[in-house]
Structure 1
Amino acid sequence: MQTACAPLIIGGAAVTAVALTEDRRSTGIFIDDEAIENRATLRAKTRFGSTIHLNVTSYNRHVLLSGEVPDEATKLAVEEEVRGSGNIAKIHNELVVGPNASLLSVSNDTRVTGVVKTRFLEANRFQANHVKVVTEAGTVYLLGIVKRSEADAAAQLASTTSGVRRVVKLFEYID
C-alpha cells in the first residue's frame, strides 16, 4: 500500500513545486497564505460552528471572506475573528446575510470555478495560475497579482461563463 501512495505524494509535490515557480508570490507568502486560511477558518468555525458557511481565501495576505451568515452582527464578528488570526494585509468581507448554501448551490459553484479555470487555460491569454478563482452563489471572485490586461482578460472570460451572475475583481496590479 505504501508503494502505491508514493507516486501520488511525489506527484503532488511536483505539482506544488511547478505552481510555486510560476507564482508571483514569494514562497514565504505562499506558505503564509496557506497558514492564514487554516488559522482563520479554525478560529471562525470554533466560535460560530455550523451557524455560518465560511470560505477563507488568502492571496498575498489579502483575505476574501465568502459564504453566508445569519445576520449583520455575525458578519462583522466573523471579520474581527479572522482579523485576529494575524498577518493579514487586507480583508474583503463578501459574506452574505442569509441561509447557508445548499449542497446543490455549493456543487454548482464548484462546477463554475472549474469551467472558469478551464476557460483561462484554453484562452491562453495569461498565465492561468496567476489568478485565483473563488465562486460563491454564482459570484466569481478573482484574486491575484496581475497586469491590468490580464485582469481584464480574466474578468471578460469569467463574465461570459455559463452560471456566472457577477464578477468581482480583487486584484493587486503590477503595472
Structure 2
Amino acid sequence: MKKSFRLLLLCLLPLSLSGCVTALVGAGAFGVMSATDRRSTGAQADDQVMEVRIQNTALTHLRNNNTMQGFEPKLSVVSFNRQVLLMGLVASEADKAFVERVARAQPNAQKVYNYIQVASAAQRGFGDVSSDSWITSKVRTTLIGTKGVSANHVKVVTYNGVTYVMGILTPEEQALVSNTVSTTAGVQQVVTLYETFVPGNVR
C-alpha cells in the first residue's frame, strides 16, 4: 500500500510543478503588460469589468425583448482607458440607444462611442468574423514591427470590415499609427479614437 501511495505521489508531482510554472509565467506576463501600458492598472481593471458588464446586460435585455422574429442581435464592446466603443447589429434605433444608455450608466465610463448599426437582419456570419479577425491580426503584426510606436499603447479591433484604432499616443505616434493601419493590406475603412498622451498623466 505504501509503495503504491509513493508511486501515486511521484506521478502527481510533475503535474503540480507544471501548474506552478504556468501560474508564474502568467503572472509575469501580466506584470510586463501592466508596466508597459500607458493606462493605469486601475484603468486596465475597469476596462475588463466594463466590457463584460455592458455586453452581458445589454445582450440579455435585447434577447429577452426581441420584437423582430428570427433576428439575433450582435454586440461587441471594447473599452480602452475607460473609453467605451460599441459595435454591433441591432433591430432598431431604440435598441441602439438602449445599449448606449447601459454603457453610459457605468460609473467609470468616461466616454462612449456608439458605432452600432441598425439592420433588418443580423448579417454577420462566420466568414465575416474570420475576415475581421484576420485583418485585426495583420494590423497588430504590422504595428509590432513598426519603429516609433509600442503596440501596447494601441487597441485595434475590426468589425464588419471597419477597423477601429484606440490608443494613448503622442501626436507623432497618432500620425504614424494612422498611416500604418490605413496602408495595411486588407484594411477597408479606419476609424481612429485616440487620446493624446501627456507624460505623467496616468489615470
Say if 1:41 and 1:56, in contact at 8 Å, map to a contact too.
yes
Partner of 2:36: 22
Give the superposition deviation at 1:3. 4.1
Distance 1:103 1:86 in 2: 34
Distance 1:117 1:75 in 2: 29
Q: Please tell me whether Structure 1 or Structure 2 has the larger radius of gyration of its CA atoms.
A: 2
Partner of 1:158: 181
Which stretch has the larger CA shift, 121-130 or 111-120? 121-130
The gaps in structure 2 that reach 5 residues or longer are 1-14, 64-70, 199-203
**Aligned residue pairs, count:** 175
Percent identity, aligned pairs only, is 36
Partner of 2:155: 132
- Counterpart of 1:153 in 2: which secondary structure? helix
Query: After superposition, what is the alpha-carbon deviation per residue over 1:140-169, rounded to whole angstroms, capped at 9, x for unaligned?
Result: 111111101111111111111222111111
The runs of at least 4 consecutive aligned structure 1 residues that moved more than 6 Å come to: none
TM-score (norm 1): 0.92
Partner of 1:11: 25
Aligned residue runs from structure 1 range 1-175, under 5 A? 1-49=15-63, 51-98=72-119, 99-174=122-197
Query: After superposition, what is the alpha-carbon deviation per residue over 1:82-122, rounded to whole angstroms, capped at 9, x for unaligned?
Result: 22233210100011122241111011111111110100011
Say if 1:143 and 1:170, in contact at 8 Å, map to a contact too.
yes
The root-mean-square deviation of aligned C-alpha atoms, in Å, is 1.7
Which letter maps to 2:40? S
Give the superposition deviation at 1:2. 4.7
Which letter maps to 2:46? D
TM-score (norm 2): 0.80
- Counterpart of 1:81 in 2: which secondary structure? helix
Say if 1:65 and 1:91, in contact at 8 Å, map to a contact too.
yes
**Structure 1 pair 47–129 and aligned structure 2 pair: CA distance change class (3 A):** same
Give the superposition deviation at 1:74. 1.2
Which stretch has the larger CA shift, 43-52 or 22-31? 43-52
**Structure 1 pair 113–8 and aligned structure 2 pair: CA distance change class (3 A):** farther
